[in-house]
Amino acid sequence: MLSDYGKGGLAHIETMISMARAAGVAVVVDPKGDDYHRYRGADIVTPNLKEFVLAGGDDASEERIETSAYELVQRFDLGAVLVTRSEKGMTLFTRENQRIHSPALAREVFDVSGAGDTVAAVVGVGLAAGLEIETVLELANRAAGQVVGKFGTAVVDLAGISSKGAPEK
C-alpha cells in the first residue's frame, strides 16, 4: 500500500512497485497528481474523481468515466483503477474490462480527510487476506463511511465494518 502525498517520500515508487511485483506482492497506490507513469504496473490505483480527471479521466458521463478508466488501465499497465466517487460510491475498472460498482452507504459526511487513504488501506489488506474483490469494495465503503462520519482524521473500527457480515460468495 503506497500513499503518494507528492512530498518526495515515494521518489523511487517505480522501483518499489517493480520489487513488490517480483516478490508476488499486490501493490495498491493512493495517487497524487497527474503523472501515472510513476504507478506503471501497480495492481490497483485508487484516485478520487478529481484525481481521476487530473490524470486524464473524463467525468462527463458514466460512459465516459468507464471508457477513460479503461484507457488509463491500458496506458499505464495497471491491474485496475478504483475511482472513489463520494456519494456515488466507488467503481472498479479492471484490465479484463470488468466493471464492479459498490454504492456508497448513506450517512452524514462531516470531514473527508483520510477517506482515500482508508479506502486504499482496506483494499490492500483485503487483497492480502485473499478476499473476493466485491467483499473488499464493500468493506472499503464501510470503512470510508466511518471516517467521513467523524471530524478530523479518524481510526476505523474493524468491528464496525465487519459486524454486518461480509457478503456471501
Q: Which residues contact 97 (CB under 8 A, 6 or more apart)?
A: 70
Q: Which letter does DSSP use for residue 168 in this model? A: P
Is 59 designated active site?
Answer: no
**Are the C-beta atoms of 114 and 64 separated by less than 8 Å?**
no
Do 46 and 29 touch, CB atoms closer than 8 A?
A: yes
Which candidate in 58, 59, 111, 117 is catalytic? 117
DSSP 95-161: TTS-EEEEPPPP---S--TTHHHHHHHHHHHHHHTT--HHHHHHHHHHHHHHHHTSSSS----HHHH
Residue 36 in grid coordinates:
501515472
Instruction: Residue 54: count other Cβ atoms within 10 Å of its Cβ.
Output: 16
Cβ(154)–Cβ(147) below 8 Å: yes
The catalytic residues are: 117
